[in-house]
Chain A
């Protein structure tokens, strides 16, 4: 029987998130104290060596991002925690913020220190009211104890952390749209390059990481890069939180070493398929994710291994469908999601997301040949991927291509 290995979730349930004193009894803020005695460059080297990759979906090496932001020129540097968590099927960041807010704060302090940032923001989606309250409360407590603010642990390092709210836009989780939103504008994506590490918030070098990514930093400082790298697989080191929903007996969040198989996640952690039914499909990574069939059940869950199979790890979302569910209906719902969330700034995505849905509706009403429909969807989403301004317009092709690969005959 496979076991969980908890790093980002390691304190969940072990203390009352409303009490910093309980957190301190668990050794809280010790890693900040430890880190502030280390040379910032050494911290960055450690994170590079640990092979930690971004947990927000794209899997970019975190250490390199730290390094680029450090090397970029600017009077002021910023750290931003991306807590916009809007990818359907994903709820890991919420769990961390609601149940272990101080771990996130620790990760942010250490990261800010390593790149020389004195100002940080947590951008939380507006619907996450409990996360917002929990983070506000924890930040106040941390400030009172002197862990946030001036001259932390007498190190000479100072950091101010502020909470900013989103207001119902999935696209604002995309890092450049997030910057616009944080500056108080419409969440329209910027053209990249320049990347945030070079020119981010207010034109200054900015480090943007996901909540779960920050939650790994204190552990790496504590246990060292070699230990961290020894977890997981060679290319996908460490652990990952998987959020499993849908037709399983025990839906929920599970953190384990990368390299776990989808079968283990579904059948061991989540207790298998509900109502004695058979597994039919899973959607990995959310709406901007991929459908897979049972041929992927024994694939190791890692960035590259899934990619080789035509799937993505993404945010770690796993939506499970049992026999009797319809891939067609789910696709319809996913494409509707993209239509809602397209910001309309560029034509291929503004029109394309509507057309994709029209193609689906036409098929529903006319009982058209599904293969023809699928090819149409593929064609349209390929145009969109090639010509859209930002990754949102480049996303519908992911689920559509995966249907062509795994469910062409059952669409």
Chain B
């Protein structure tokens, strides 16, 4: 779907801003918002580029830089941290070669830190795009990435 038709699904009210930004970002193969996206949205909502930019910068789920097709969010909140330490980040690195805040050169994976994602009873937890993976250890992490890679 082209960007204009994504945006025009929403009423041009400012209270739709975050919903619109999510939709644009989710339909972008690199999971990010481009300068052109922000300009388009600003025009549609009859506001300024700078105010849309300011909003995007505030919220940690939005990225202004191209990310991988798969955005991996590792929970670093107290409970997951207590159960896991830095284990998951190490295991992920072993599988795809990147650490927190990095994107693979082929733009397949990005790894980010996240705060509690509400599955603390099955810690430690990560999210890959919109799916949650729970009760993880090195074996399970390996399986997850083998699965993704074989689907590529």
A residues adjacent to B (C-beta < 8 A): 85-91, 94, 126-130, 164-170, 181-187, 243-246, 251-253, 283, 287, 317, 319, 321, 325, 329-330, 333-334, 336-337, 340-341, 343
Contacts and interface: CB of A to CB of B under 8 A. Distances in A.
Given A127-B127, A129-B130, A164-B18, A337 B118 contact: no
B24 to A, nearest CB: 12
B121 A91 contact: yes
B15 A85 contact: no
Contacts of A245: 79, 120-121, 123
A343 B60 CA distance: 11
A243 B118 CA distance: 10
Given A184-B18, A319-B120, A127 B78 contact: no
B81 interface: yes
Given A126-B22, A129-B130, A170-B115, 18 more contacts: A88-B77, A91-B118, A126-B61, A128-B118, A129-B131, A164-B18, A165-B22, A166-B18, A167-B21, A243-B121, A244-B121, A246-B120, A317-B120, A319-B82, A325-B82, A329-B81, A337-B115, A340-B115
B78 to A, nearest CB: 4
B6 interface: no
B16 interface: yes
14 contacts: A89-B79, A89-B116, A91-B121, A127-B61, A165-B19, A165-B22, A167-B62, A246-B82, A246-B83, A287-B77, A317-B120, A319-B79, A319-B82, A341-B115
Given A165-B22, A167-B60, A169-B59, A182 B15 contact: yes
B78 A169 contact: no
A308 B131 CA distance: 41
A330 B85 CA distance: 11
Given A88-B120, A243-B120, A245-B121, A181 B18 contact: yes
B122 interface: yes
B55 interface: yes
B55 A184 contact: yes
Interface string B128-146: 0011100000000000000
A169 B62 CA distance: 11
Given A182-B15, A252-B121, A88 B58 contact: no
Contacts of A252: 121
Contacts of B45: 184
B96 interface: no
A344 B45 CA distance: 27
Contacts of B147: none
Interface in B47-100: 54-55, 58-62, 73, 76-79, 81-83
Nearest to B130: A129
Contacts of B131: 129
B58 A169 contact: yes
The list of the 10 closest CB pairs from A to B, nearest first, reads A184-B17, A167-B59, A168-B60, A168-B61, A129-B130, A251-B121, A245-B120, A184-B14, A88-B116, A91-B118
Contacts of B13: 184
B146 to A, nearest CB: 23
B121 A168 contact: no
Contacts of A183: 14-15
Contacts of B17: 184
Contacts of A169: 58-60
Contacts of B132: 130
Nearest to B14: A184
B78 A319 contact: yes
A165 B18 contact: yes
Q: Which residue of A88, A185, A244, A329 has the most chain B CB atoms within 10 A of its CB atom?
A: A88
Nearest to B22: A165
B115 A88 contact: yes
B78 A283 contact: yes
Contacts of B81: 329, 333
B117 interface: yes
B39 interface: no
